């Protein structure tokens, strides 16, 4: 390659190209990356028309993937970056889903919720670099092959378990060039716990309350007290795991939630639409970590138990139907 020639753009494969995966895939495609996606339900439509993405802040991000694959087994050449954007669900084996597409040089990137979710990847692919990332974005799939981006898009990205590699810097630079604020963190695990302080409190409470929005959960002193107790227990667990959270985080989370328009959590929406919920990644892993580290977490234990009851009742109802 001549010295003045730009480096070729990396190849990218997105597993789970729904709302979040489709959105970030579109940003990378606009930066000139060759982007392939794995899609099952919308495969025919997206193969014919591409993915339509309307962004309130970035404009029309619609794009046509280089390839639309039904599974990773159809991937002919391992990608430089493999973005895993699926929900973390008990019914889904993400390692099996991506294994056929992982090459010796492939960097695996998790853009997912939850804590302590990385182990299956490090065990299955010990020689591959793993980047862990958190998305702060309001985006939804409004129809087959159609995504609407309402706000935000900020990513926190870092090497797992710690540090910031050249591969992380290169990916972050492409997101930044595409209009996405991407913060590089040399302690992404602590950042995961920070997001979980909010998620492990508000998401379960919204379902246990029958689909409450954020304003309803904070409308009474007792409601806010439950949220704060859950958040304090997550912070205590994080600290016991070696990832102490900054002072004032809980107050900042509560104040920030009050400033935002009322909205329903992703878990509440999944519950209302009869979809599988990310209970284990968002709450179950925290409860198990608290037990392992001998941290008292009665509020989290109660929320987790109630979610188990709710899930079992819903499953029983579906079985009768």
pLDDT at 71 over 60: yes
Nearest to 153 by CA among 26, 10, 278: 26
Residue 318 has what pLDDT?
66
CATH code, residues 11-186: 3.40.50.720
Residue 50 has what pLDDT?
92
**Confidence grade of residue 316 (pLDDT, cut at 50, 70, 90):** confident
pLDDT at 257 over 80: yes
pLDDT at 272 over 50: yes
Looking at per-residue pLDDT, the higher value among 101 and 7 belongs to: 101
**Confidence grade of residue 261 (pLDDT, cut at 50, 70, 90):** confident
Residue 1 has what pLDDT?
47
Average of pLDDT values for 191-196? Answer: 96
**Buried/exposed code over 200-234 (b: 16+ C-beta within 10 A; e: otherwise):** bbbbbbbbbeeebbbebbbeeeeeeebbbbbbbbb
**Confidence grade of residue 6 (pLDDT, cut at 50, 70, 90):** low
Q: How far is CA 321 from CA 262, 316, 317, 318, in A?
A: 33, 9, 6, 5
Q: What would the two tokens of residue 271 be?
A: 């519950």
Assess contact for 113 and 87: CB atoms under 8 A: yes
Q: Which residue carries 């995504």 as its tokens?
A: 147
Domain with CATH 1.10.1040.10 in the chain: 190-320
Pick the CATH number of 190-320 from 1.10.10.10, 3.30.1300.30, 1.10.1040.10, 1.20.1090.10: 1.10.1040.10
Average of pLDDT values for 117-137? Answer: 96
Q: What is the 3-state secondary structure (H, E, C) of the chain?
A: CCCCCCCCCCEEEEECCCHHHHHHHHHHHHCCCEEEEECCCCHHHHHHHCEEEEECCCEECCECCCEEECCHHHCCCCCCEEEECCCCCCCCCHHHHHHHHCCCCCEEEEECCCCCCCHHHHHHCCCCCEEEEEEEEEEEEEECCEEEEEEEEEEEEEECCCCCCHHHHHHHHHHHHCCCCEEECCCHHHHHHHHHHHHHHHHHHHHHCCCCEHHHHCCCHHHHHHHHHHHHHHHHHHHHCCCCCCCCHHHHHHHHHHHCCCCECHHHHHHHCCCCCCHHHHHHHHHHHHHHCCCCCHHHHHHHHHHHHHHHHHHHHHHHC
Residue 3 has what pLDDT?
57
**Confidence grade of residue 289 (pLDDT, cut at 50, 70, 90):** very high
Domain with CATH 3.40.50.720 in the chain: 11-186
Q: What would the two tokens of residue 286 be?
A: 């925290």
Q: How far apart are CA 64 and CA 191, in angstroms?
A: 33
Residue 248 has what pLDDT?
97
Of 52-56, 85-89, 149-153, 232-236, the range with the highest mean pLDDT is 232-236
């Amino acid at each position: 390659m001549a010295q003045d020639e730009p480096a070729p753009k990396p190849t990218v494969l997105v597993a789970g190209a729904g709302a979040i995966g489709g959105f970030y895939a579109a940003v990378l495609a606009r930066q000139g990356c060759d982007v392939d996606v794995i899609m099952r339900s919308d495969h025919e439509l997206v193969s014919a028309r591409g993915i339509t993405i309307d962004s309130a802040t970035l404009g029309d991000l619609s794009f046509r993937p280089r390839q639309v694959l039904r599974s990773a087994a159809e991937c002919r050449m391992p990608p430089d970056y493999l973005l895993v954007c699926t929900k973390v669900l008990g019914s889904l084996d993400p390692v099996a889903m991506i294994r056929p597409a992982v090459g010796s040089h492939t960097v695996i990137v998790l853009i997912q919720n939850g804590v302590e979710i990385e182990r299956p990847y490090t065990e299955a692919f010990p020689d591959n670099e793993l980047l862990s990332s958190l998305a702060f974005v309001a985006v939804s799939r409004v129809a087959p092959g159609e995504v609407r981006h309402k706000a935000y898009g900020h990513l926190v990205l870092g090497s797992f378990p710690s540090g910031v590699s050249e591969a992380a810097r290169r990916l972050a630079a492409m997101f930044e060039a595409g209009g996405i604020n991407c913060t590089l963190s040399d302690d992404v695990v602590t950042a995961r716990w920070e997001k979980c302080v909010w998620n492990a409190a508000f998401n379960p409470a919204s379902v246990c309350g029958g689909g409450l929005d954020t304003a309803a959960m904070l409308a009474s002193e007792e409601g806010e007290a439950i949220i704060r107790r859950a958040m304090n227990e997550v912070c205590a667990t994080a600290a016991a795991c070696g990832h102490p959270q900054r002072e004032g985080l809980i107050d900042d989370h509560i104040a920030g939630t009050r400033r935002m328009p009322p909205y329903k959590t992703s878990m509440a929406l999944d519950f209302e639409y009869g979809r599988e919920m990310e209970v284990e990644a968002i709450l179950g892993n925290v409860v198990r970590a608290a037990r392992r580290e001998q941290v008292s977490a009665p509020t989290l234990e109660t929320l987790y138990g109630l979610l188990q009851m709710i899930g079992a009742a819903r499953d029983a109802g579906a079985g009768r139907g």
